[in-house]
């Protein structure tokens, strides 16, 4: 946990977005849309809220843990891990290349610091996070477990099995978040498979639910994370509905599923980078 100002956190967001775009452009492969939309939340966690150690230990004893379920936003996680000191930022240039540790979806076999599970098969991340949270309880470890899912991922049955399990066993040391951008690979979620009242669903399953209506506003994200933490330890798991805009920060990428899994061209990259200040130095 670091004592960074809102301005410093926003500067990190700008650099991380640059990193994500350059990584995906470099191999003309990847998922920039949701990565740009989730940037504030990831930066808030890793640079402000979480107690974590960049001298990575797999067991994570005595520190908060993070699990990414929608693993296709890996470029964002890698950028945040690198900027947090888990590995050198120059390694971002190997994203999705042959023999890289930075695979398109996070994996553990290469031993990349920060990665505790392989992810990207949607629906599984919350289950793993709940297991880790139970282990912390058994070990008398008072730190928290965080997990992030996509909104399209809520169409997976395993998510709801995990939701039921967490409430039944009163796993109250977990804070899960749903990236609620309303977009998935085939179009808007309301057209592919409408989620209806997602808050009511999770509340019916026994969770405390917090709305972050401004998921791309750092102050709002930090305030809601503080609220979420205040609700832990009270017998119910906690969920954040994080309303974000896919492609946030780049005007021609905002709010469309087109950029779910499409890399920018040379001209598009130049346009995008022109909208994002270089604050920490490009890799």
Angle at CA of residue 141, ends 137 and 147, nearest 5°: 70
Provide the pLDDT for residue 193.
Answer: 87
| Spatial contact of 248 and 22, defined as CB atoms under 8 Å apart | no
Helix axes of 6-27 and 266-273: crossing angle, nearest 10 degrees: 170
- Cα Rg, the chain, nearest whole Å: 18
pLDDT in tens, the chain (283 residues): 568 999 999 999 999 999 999 999 999 999 999 999 999 999 999 999 999 999 999 999 999 999 999 999 999 999 999 999 999 999 999 999 999 999 999 999 999 999 999 998 899 999 999 999 999 999 999 999 999 999 999 999 999 999 999 999 999 999 999 999 888 878 788 888 888 999 999 999 999 999 999 999 999 999 999 999 999 999 999 999 999 999 999 999 998 889 999 999 999 999 999 999 999 999 9
Half-sphere exposure of 120 (CA within 13 A, CB side): 16
Provide the pLDDT for residue 86.
Answer: 98
- Classified as helix, coil or strand, 212 is strand
Would you give the end-to-end CA distance of the chain in angstroms?
Answer: 24
Tell which residue, 175, 120, 162, 141, has the closest CA to residue 57.
141
Provide the pLDDT for residue 1.
Answer: 58
Q: At residue 79, what are phi and psi to the nearest 5 degrees?
A: -60, -45
């Amino acid at each position: 946990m670091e004592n960074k100002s809102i301005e410093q956190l926003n500067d990190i967001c700008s650099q991380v977005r640059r990193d994500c775009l350059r990584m995906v452009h470099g191999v003309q492969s990847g998922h920039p849309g949701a990565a740009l939309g989730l940037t504030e939340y990831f930066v808030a966690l890793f640079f402000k809220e979480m107690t974590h150690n960049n001298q990575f230990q797999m067991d994570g004893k005595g520190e908060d843990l993070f699990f990414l379920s929608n693993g296709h936003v890996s470029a964002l996680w890698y950028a945040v891990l690198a900027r947090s000191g888990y590995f050198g930022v120059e390694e971002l240039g190997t994203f999705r290349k042959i023999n890289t540790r930075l695979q398109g979806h996070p994996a553990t076999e290469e031993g990349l610091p920060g990665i505790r599970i392989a992810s990207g098969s949607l629906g599984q991340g919350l289950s793993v996070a709940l297991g880790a949270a139970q282990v912390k309880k058994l070990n008398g470890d008072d730190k928290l477990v965080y997990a992030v899912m996509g909104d399209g991922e809520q169409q997976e049955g395993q998510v709801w099995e995990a939701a039921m399990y967490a409430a039944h066993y009163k796993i109250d040391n977990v804070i899960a978040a749903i990236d609620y951008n309303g977009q998935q690979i085939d179009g808007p979620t309301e057209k592919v498979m409408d989620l209806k009242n997602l808050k009511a669903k999770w509340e019916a399953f026994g969770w405390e639910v917090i709305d972050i209506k401004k998921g791309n506003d750092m102050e709002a994200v930090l305030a809601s994370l503080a609220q979420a933490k205040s609700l832990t330890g009270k017998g119910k798991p906690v969920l954040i509905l994080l309303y974000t805009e896919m492609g946030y920060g780049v005007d021609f990428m905002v709010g469309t599923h087109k950029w779910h899994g499409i890399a920018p061209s040379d001209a598009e990259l130049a346009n995008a980078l022109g909208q994002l200040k270089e604050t920490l130095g490009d890799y």
